[in-house]
Amino acid sequence: MKRRIIGLFVCFAVLLTPLYSATEPASAPKASKPVIEISQTIAAITGIAISPLLGTGVYGAYKYFSTDKAQRASLPWFAFPTFFLPALLIAGACAAKDTFGVVLPPGWKKPVDILETLENKLSGLVAAGAVVPITMGSLSKLLVGSAAVHGDPTASGVATIMLGSVDWSWALNILTVPLGVAVFAVVWMASHAINVLILLSPWAAIDATLKAVRTSILGLITLTTQLDPKSGAFLSLMVIVVAYFVSGWAFRLTTFGTLFCWDFFTRRKRRFVPAPDENLVFTGAGLSDRVPIRTYGRWSRSPEGDWKFRYRPWLVLPERSLSMKPERAAVGRGFCFSVVLADGENEAFTLPPRYRDHEEELARLYRLGDVQDVGLRKAWGWLTEGVRGKPRRKELAA
């Protein structure tokens, strides 16, 4: 925690130093143009990170309509109708999907949710690689130009011309562009976690609520920035702080969502066979308090029946391990993905979609109990068995 606070302080110091240096003396009645531009840039990066496609579309439309017609040709590619109009239409279609999905049976819109999750990943990648650097680069040129004019009030005209003839924005880009991309990545991961939660949620009403909360935050930042750029920047910084402290949780959910989409679109389960020695899984809520939920790692079983889970925090840090020996265990077959239950109905591991239709083989390799239905499959089984009048499958004792 101490390292996180120090890192956050350093990032804020680097981010706010240009804002402080660009501020005019206290006698000035209004904020200077650099202050407004910096505040709007912070809000724009945060808004685009919250929803890359919608944020980029809105930001591009704002740049287009707020620029004189004679200067529109110099705008970046995302500020033309050929991009922001289709982007806004796709974002509107996603909103309509969540609105009408409330009346659909559970699980019917999951394939569309997976498509939207993939779209969020692709648009986030494009925004991080193109939109954010362009935006931060424009800000650097503005700050350098402002420093050349306002940096020394006693400078002569010749000195100002000599200083203005040198473009130092490239040097400032070395500092601002990586920082902008880092801020974007942290906020995007926290926002993208909502898409993964929608994948995990069985009810469309919860999906619509999560999406409405995210859209409301984006709208509040946009509106506040238009009314008062400094207040908009402050609100954006608060979002960045929250995203920073939940970055670990968001990273694990992002990893889960990435593997989920990969297995779904590549039909990985058709080419997958559970390994006899160890398999890649995600931890569940009932495994251990020592390992965060949805940690990605390798699960193995010894001949004596002991379980071992090996993982690397953030996927790259030094390896850690956890050993256990459950008394009872079984595989729970779900609608989209399956789980491993230990000591009753405690969810020890969450299995990626590639394990679908391989539950019996996994249970045999790890000497688990019978495969049983869980989640939506369990609810559907109760419904069909109730209609047919057949007894339900025997469940594990708690």
Residues 6+ apart with CB under 8 A from 73: none
Q: Which residues pair with 309 in a beta bridge?
A: 299, 322
Exposure of 35 in the CB half-sphere (CA atoms within 13 A): 15
Q: Which residue has the tokens 């990648």?
A: 125
Let me know: does 355 contact 337? Beta carbons within 8 Å.
yes
**166-191 CB burial, b ≥16 within 10 A, e <16:** eeebeebbeebbeebbebbbbbbbbb
Let me know: does 313 contact 283? Beta carbons within 8 Å.
no
d(CA 137, CA 383): 58
The CA-atom distances, in angstroms, between 383 and each of 67, 101, 103, 379, 380 are: 59, 21, 19, 6, 5
Phi and psi at 343, nearest 5°, equal 55, 55
> Using CA atoms in the order 78, 79, 82, 86, what is the torsion angle rounded to 10 degrees?
70
pLDDT in 10s for each residue of the chain, 398 residues: 555 555 555 555 545 554 444 444 444 444 556 678 788 888 889 999 999 999 899 889 988 998 999 899 888 899 999 999 999 999 888 877 767 766 666 556 677 788 888 888 999 988 888 888 887 776 666 555 554 444 444 444 444 444 444 555 556 667 778 888 899 999 999 999 988 888 777 677 777 788 888 889 988 998 998 888 889 889 999 999 999 999 999 999 999 989 988 898 888 989 999 998 899 999 988 888 889 989 999 999 988 888 999 999 999 999 999 998 888 888 988 877 889 988 877 888 999 999 988 999 999 999 888 888 776 554 444 334 333 444 444 333 33
Q: Where on the phi/psi map is residue 314: left (φ > 0), alpha (ψ -120 to 50), or beta?
A: left
* CA 49 to chain CA centroid, nearest Å: 8
d(CA 109, CA 337): 15
Residues 6+ apart with CB under 8 A from 163: 148, 151, 155
Let me know: does 342 contact 323? Beta carbons within 8 Å.
no
Residues 6+ apart with CB under 8 A from 168: 144
Closest CA to 107 of 194, 192, 207, 191: 207
Spell out the domains of the chain, with CATH numbers in brackets.
2-259 (no CATH), 274-388 (2.30.29)
pLDDT at residue 97, rounded to an integer: 73
DSSP 42-96: HHHHHHHHHSHHHHHHHHHHHHHHTS-GGGGGGS-GGGSHHHHHHHHHHHHHHHH
> Using CA atoms in the order 179, 185, 190, 194, what is the torsion angle rounded to 10 degrees?
150
Q: Which residue has the tokens 């909103």?
A: 95
Give 289: exposed, middle or buried? Use CB within 10 Å, 0-12, 13-18, 19+: exposed
d(CA 50, CA 187): 6
pLDDT at residue 21, rounded to an integer: 45
Token pair, residue 124, equals: 């986030």
